[in-house]
Each structure stands twice: as C-alpha cells, then as structure tokens.
C-alpha cells in the first residue's frame, strides 16, 4: 500500500482528532454557558492552536446548535451515547468528501480491517466496490461461494440480509457480508442484463485467494491467468514466465479478467517483464498536483513475445494499471469488455483511540496520462457476450473472450 507521511498526513489526522475532542467536550462546556462563545473559538481552544485559514472561515455554530437540540429534545435522552455521536459526526465529515473509498473506521472496524489484511477470512469471496453510488460486485473470486452461487461482475447489491445498502459505507457492507464459515448471508441483487432482482443465499467459507493459473492452448499459445495482485503474485508470475518458455509456446495471453487488483508495486513488477527499464508504468496525482512516478525494472524477457491481454468488468485497480501501461507503451491489444474503473490509492492512518482514517490520497494515470478512476479502460477489441431472450448469458461452455484473444494473438 502506498503511504505518505509528513505535515499533510498530520493535518488530515488533526482535523479528525480535533472533531473528536470537540464532540467529547461539548456537554461539559454547555453546562457552563460555553454556547455564548463563537464555535470556531471553541474548536481553536480545544486544538490548542490557531485553526487553519480555511477552517477559520467556517461557522461551527450550526453543528453545536444541532447537538444541543438533540441533547434537549430527543425523547430517549438517557439512551444518547455521546461517543457514538462523535463517531457519527466524524464519519459524516469524511463521507462529505464524496469519495466511497475515503472512510472513518471505528475501533472495531479497524481491528477487522487489520485482520483481513493479515490472511484468510470468512466470507463469500467477492470483491465489491461503489459504482455510481451503488454497492456493486467487482469480481467474484475464482472457485469461491460467490462465484458458485452465480454472482457476476456488475451485479448491484441492494440489500444485505435485512439491511439496505443505500448510503451504506463500503467497509460496513463488507463487515455485514463477512462472517463465520458455515453461516449464511442473503443478498438482494439487481442485474441490469436481465432487468430483474433476485435473492442469493450464500454459505460463507474461509476465503483463500488464488494467485494465478496457467494453460497451454494448442501448440503455440500460452495463457497466464492472473487472479490477484498479492505479495506472492510477483514470485508466482516469475515461475509462470519460466513455464511459458519451457512450454515451447511462441505467443502469450495475459488474462486479467475478474482480477480486482491489489498491490501497486506488484503491478509495476509484472509490467516490467514486458517493458524496458526506466519506462513509466503508472503515475500518481496527489492533492498538491504533484505525485510519484513508478518505472519499469526492465526484466524485458517478454518484450518481443506477441501478447494479448484479456479484460472485463471485473478487472480493476492493479489490473487496469498493467493493461493501460502495456497498451500505452507496447501497443498490446486489449480484448474483452470495459474495466471497472478503480484507479485510486488509499492510505490508512491510525488515530489515537484505536480507530483509523482510510483516505484516498492519489489517483493513478496511465503512461499517456489517461485517468482510470471512475472511467475504466475500453478494450481495443470489444467482445459481445451472447444472451438469450431474458438477457441471461448463453455460453454453452464457450469462453468467447478467450477464443477471440487466441484468434487475435495468432495473427500477430
């Protein structure tokens, strides 16, 4: 995960921390008539320093007015938990930036997030994200309960159990979907292709994400299907490259379909097998307008190998980085469907009470300067998926995108 440090990161944390302190101190201050002071002065006093110029222009009196009215008028006054009010205020503040990947994580959610990063977890095996303010399946993991149940990329999750996903934070949705292996969760799903809503009851399992698979097609074409960009993916891809050369194949298909992404550095490492040293793989745009540039390590063993890349709606994040870079730099053809459009960098900042702030700090751009986030990448060769009169996919065991990829790569 890309991390930043220094004054900018501290400023972000200080605003969240300040609001927490302000909220906790309000009730005591109200008892002594602190409402008579301008709200911004109270904020500055709690922080112990002058507020930033932009913050000084804001009027916090409305915030205090609402809090006071809740304290005085709410029918179940004894049930008010001021800690939850503070957390709700902070969560609302963060949600106000309008980015689904910038979220405040209370202490328990932070603990869950850290456990998920550490290893396997109980769930259904589907990568999800927010698309046009709707909780959406990016990709079901190969062999997972989600895939076996019939969930597909692009499915819109309207309800998790009895909980509507409208205005539900992404991390909260993940928390509701995950659970103990062997237990069940029911998702109400809308699929645009069929214009219908359907309930999927899925039994949770321990989810272990596969890295990649390989397959030789005929005498000439070798397929590397990369399923995710984990810490082990760079090593596994190196082994797959060795297998490719030992197979005697002359042409390569890199299958990034339903790959939800992962580590940025791994995507750069994998692109380096195709690209000379020093070439820009991806650049980051930070809030300041500046950013980092990630360049090829120049392994180059695959730079002269005729290659086609397969993509679809489930290709996101690091998958889009690799696909975009290899098309921009090498002119490698992308075959399949438009990608998801997840091209941003998140940083997790620990807060003093064990909670955390996950904030989008940068957006990715391809070597030619095309932004990925919210846009996605269009394929060079669009493959239409056959459907019946009800809009359901009809494949009859065929992989039409792979077949088209083989056709294209054989012509190179």
**Active-site amino acid positions:** 317, 328, 342
Sign of the four-CA dihedral 173, 179, 181, 182: negative
Which residues does residue 244 pair with via DSSP β-bridges, in sequence order?
none
Tell me how far apart the alpha carbons of residues 64 and 76 are, in angstroms, rounded to a whole number: 19
By residue count, the chain amounts to: 412
61-73 and 7-31 helices, crossing angle to 10°? 40
Phi, psi of 404 (to 5 degrees): -65, -40
Tell me how far apart the alpha carbons of residues 379 and 149 are, in angstroms, rounded to a whole number: 28
Contact 110, 90 (CB under 8 A): no
Tell me how far apart the alpha carbons of residues 143 and 242 are, in angstroms, rounded to a whole number: 26
61-73 and 39-47 helices, crossing angle to 10°? 100
Sign of the four-CA dihedral 255, 258, 264, 265: negative
- Locate all alpha helices (DSSP H) within 74-223, ordered by sequence: 82-95, 107-118, 145-149, 170-177
Contact 328, 366 (CB under 8 A): yes
Question: What single DSSP character describes residue 35?
Answer: G
Quick one: tokens of 89?
Answer: 């205020």
Phi, psi of 262 (to 5 degrees): 155, -130
């Amino acid at each position: 995960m890309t991390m930043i440090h220094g004054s900018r990161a501290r400023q972000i944390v200080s605003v969240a921390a300040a609001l927490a302190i302000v909220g906790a101190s309000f009730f005591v201050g109200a008892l002594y008539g602190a409402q008579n002071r301008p709200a911004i002065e109270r904020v500055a006093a709690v922080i112990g320093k002058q507020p930033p110029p932009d913050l000084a222009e804001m009027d916090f009196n409305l915030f205090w007015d609402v809090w006071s009215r809740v304290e005085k008028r709410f029918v179940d006054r004894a049930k008010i938990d001021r800690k939850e009010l503070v957390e709700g205020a902070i969560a609302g503040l963060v949600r106000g930036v309008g980015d689904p990947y910038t979220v405040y994580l209370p202490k328990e959610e932070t603990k869950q997030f850290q456990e998920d990063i550490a290893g396997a977890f109980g769930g259904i095996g589907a990568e999800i994200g927010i698309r046009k303010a709707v909780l959406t399946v990016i990709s079901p993991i190969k062999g997972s309960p989600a895939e076996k149940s019939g969930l597909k990329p692009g499915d819109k999750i309207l309800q998790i159990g009895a909980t509507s996903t409208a205005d539900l934070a992404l991390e909260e949705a993940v928390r509701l979907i995950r659970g103990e292996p062997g237990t069940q969760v029911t998702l109400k799903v809308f699929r645009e292709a069929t214009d219908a809503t359907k309930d999927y009851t899925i039994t949770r399992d321990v989810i272990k994400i596969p890295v990649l698979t390989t397959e030789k097609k005929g005498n000439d074409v070798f397929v590397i299907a990369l399923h995710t960009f984990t810490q082990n993916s760079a090593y596994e891809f190196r082994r797959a490259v060795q297998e490719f050369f030992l197979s005697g194949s002359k042409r390569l298909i890199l299958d990034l379909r339903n790959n939800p992404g992962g580590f940025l550095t791994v995507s750069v490492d994998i692109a380096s097998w195709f690209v000379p040293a020093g070439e820009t793989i991806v650049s980051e745009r930070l809030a300041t307008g500046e950013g980092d540039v990630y360049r090829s390590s120049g392994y180059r063993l695959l730079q002269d190998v005729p290659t086609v890349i397969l993509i679809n709606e489930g290709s996101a994040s690091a998958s889009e980085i690799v696909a975009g870079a290899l098309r921009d730099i090498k002119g490698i053809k992308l075959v399949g469907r438009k990608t998801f459009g997840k091209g941003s960098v998140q940083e997790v900042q620990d807060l003093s009470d064990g909670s955390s702030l996950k904030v989008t700090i940068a957006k990715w751009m391809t070597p030619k300067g095309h932004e990925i986030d919210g846009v996605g990448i269009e394929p060079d060769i669009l493959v239409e998926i056959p459907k019946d009169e009800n809009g359901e996919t009809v494949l009859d065991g065929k992989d039409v995108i792979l077949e088209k990829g083989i056709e294209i790569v054989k012509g190179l």
